Amino acid sequence: MDSPDEIIKQLIKALDVSVNTFNDAMPAAQRRILDEVVLMTKDLDVKEGKIQVTAKNIRIVGKIRKELSNIILDKKYMNSVNDFVTSFDSVADLHNNYFNAVSSSFGMKDLYTAIKEESINATVVGLTKSGLEANVTNPLADILRQNITTGGRYTDFVKQLTTQLTTTSEGDGSLVRYAKTYTTDALHQYSANYHQAITDDLDFVWYAYDGGLQTTSREFCIEMIKAKNSCMRYFHKSQIPTLLEGLICSGTVELNPKTNLPKGFIKGTNASSFLTLRGGWGCKHLIKSVPSAMVPKELRQMFE
């Protein structure tokens, strides 16, 4: 059997691979969408380079708007979504393996399965319906409508569509941008929720902040990883309110004056939700719970 630390490494890797695999397919998906939409505008009435405000053009825009969801949700995209949500099973299995390795009291419950099923359902909706409409489909429809009803230049219209659906060195297209944020938060927050449900059942009160650092890591996450390797290998549940005040060991991190939480934290994060929300949107760190027996005795005595 793998050690608890090795299982956590496997879990962190699985989370990253699953998110990256899905998002690696999104630039090509954007190009397919762009090509299809531009092709559907070829029958627009254009005079001297300008789109004409005609009944025919307005009907064409209406048709494109109705077809946008079908264009985006093609077979390749849906296969990517289906492959992505299978990773929820793998993540659950790794959590189960971890708790089996650290506690003889661990046993599967219907609650854990329900958390997984609900997370999968919500993720599919986010990647195919509500979230996709708000962040990709509706902005595209707005570009179509504005240009048709105001008689914009056709070349400018195509440039707008291209900018909206192209990832360059200056930024991501709308689909890539949304997918990166949504898949990261969906899978990592599900992982944290699943882990925390088991933690509560086992009455674990000790934690470790785990994971690697990136160039985009927030100050809070950077200092927590530093602390894990020096002054705070483990932290107690009762220390969470202090961490939310930006106090880590003997140092402090900058707070957002609007939320009074460390910069980058999701508004409303509290002592309970911190274990799920961690460092905020896009945070890839894992708050690992550990049994008291794994914590040095001198540290445990400070909180007993």
Rounded to an integer, the average pLDDT of 208-221 is 94
DSSP string for residues in 21-68: HHHHTHHHHHHHHHHHHHHHTTTS-EETTEE---HHHHHHHHHHHHHH
Report pLDDT for 139: 94
Question: What are the sequence ranges of the domains in the chain?
Answer: 1-203, 204-304
Tens digit of each residue's pLDDT (9 = 90 or more) over 98-107: 999 999 999 9
Report pLDDT for 137: 93
Which of 130, 131, 124, 158 is closest to 144 using CA atoms? 158
Tens digit of each residue's pLDDT (9 = 90 or more) over 131-173: 999 999 999 999 999 998 888 899 999 999 999 999 988 899 9
Q: Give residues with Cβ within 8 angstroms of 232, minimum separation 6.
A: 224, 248, 249
- Give the three-class secondary structure for 252: strand
Average pLDDT, the chain: 95
Q: Alpha-carbon Rg of the chain, whole angstroms?
A: 24
Q: Judge whether residue 1 has pLDDT over 90.
A: no
β-partners of residue 207 are 235, 289
* Confidence grade of residue 32 (pLDDT, cut at 50, 70, 90): very high
Rounded Cα–Cα distance for residues 24 and 107 (Å) = 36
Tell me the whole-structure pTM to 2 decimals: 0.93
Rounded Cα–Cα distance for residues 231 and 242 (Å) = 15
